[in-house]
Amino acid sequence: MTENRQLDVRQEAPARRHDLIFGTYHSLGAGESFVLVNDHDPKPLYYQFAAEHRGQFSWDYLETGPERWQVRIGRPA
């Protein structure tokens, strides 16, 4: 994963967050990633990725709260 792109959604309206996150994911090339910064554990987002993109994404927690969560989300090469 070569990208150091960061998407901080903490100031975004909750209804808009998933659109921004999936838009960023879909803009990635093979082997690229971005770091999602959120104000809660994005576990429901993980389940959505698993349902819609099984085997086509990586998910690595970099920071696990309690006030800030960071997850590197990527597309495998």
- Report the b/e string of 18-53 with b at 16+ CB within 10 A: eeebbebbeebeeebbbbbbbbeebeebeeebeeee
Assign 4 a pLDDT band (cuts: 50, 70, 90): confident
In the chain, the number of structural domains is: 1
Range 6-22 average pLDDT: 96
- Answer yes or no: is pLDDT of 1 > 50: no
Model pLDDT for residues 34-49, shown as the tens digit of each residue: 999 999 999 999 999 9
Q: Say what the pLDDT of residue 71 is.
A: 98
Q: Residue 30 sits in which domain range?
A: 5-74
Structure tokens at 59: 């998910």
Give this prediction's pTM.
Answer: 0.92
The mean pLDDT of the chain is 94
Q: How many CA atoms lie within 13 A of 39 on its CB side?
A: 7
